[in-house]
Structure 1
Amino acid sequence: MSQKYSGGCEHVHTHADHDPIDNHTCHCSVCKSVTGQPTTHVAFFNHDDVVVDHPEELNRQPFNANNPDGPLELCTCKDCGTPIMLDDKQNRIRAIVPNLMGYADAFPAATYHAFYDAAAGVARPSDGRPVHEGLRPEFVWPQGS
Structure 2
Amino acid sequence: MSHKYSGGCSHIHTHSDSDPIDNHTCHCSVCKGVTGQDTTHVVFFNHDDVVVDHEDKLKRQPFNANNPDGPLELCTCGECGAPVMLDDKQSRIRVIVPNLMGYGDQIEPAPYHAFYDPASGVPKPSDGRPVYEGLRPDFVWPEGS
- Normalization by structure 1: what TM-score? 0.99
Q: What RMSD over aligned residues (CA atoms) do the two structures have, in Å? A: 0.6
Q: What does residue 111 of structure 1 align with?
A: 111
Instruction: Return the alpha-carbon distance in structure 2 between the equivalents of residues 69 and 50 of structure 1.
Output: 23
Instruction: Return the alpha-carbon distance in structure 2 between the equivalents of residues 128 and 139 of structure 1.
Output: 20
Q: What does 1:6-85 align with in structure 2 at a 5 Å threshold?
A: 6-85=6-85
The percentage of aligned residue pairs carrying the same residue is 79
Runs (4 or more) in structure 1 with deviation over 3 Å come to: none
Does 2:92 align with 1:92? Answer: yes
- Normalization by structure 2: what TM-score? 0.99
Q: What does residue 135 of structure 1 align with?
A: 135
Gaps of 5+ in 2: none
Instruction: Return the alpha-carbon distance in structure 2 between the equivalents of residues 49 and 42 of structure 1.
Output: 16
Instruction: Return the alpha-carbon distance in structure 1 between the equivalents of residues 48 and 132 of structure 2.
Output: 27
1:28-47 C-alpha deviation (Å, 9 max, x unpaired): 00000000000000000000
Q: How many residues align?
A: 145
8 A contact 2:5–2:106 mirrored in 1 = no
Gaps of 5+ in 1: none
Instruction: Return the alpha-carbon distance in structure 2 between the equivalents of residues 78 and 23 of structure 1.
Output: 27
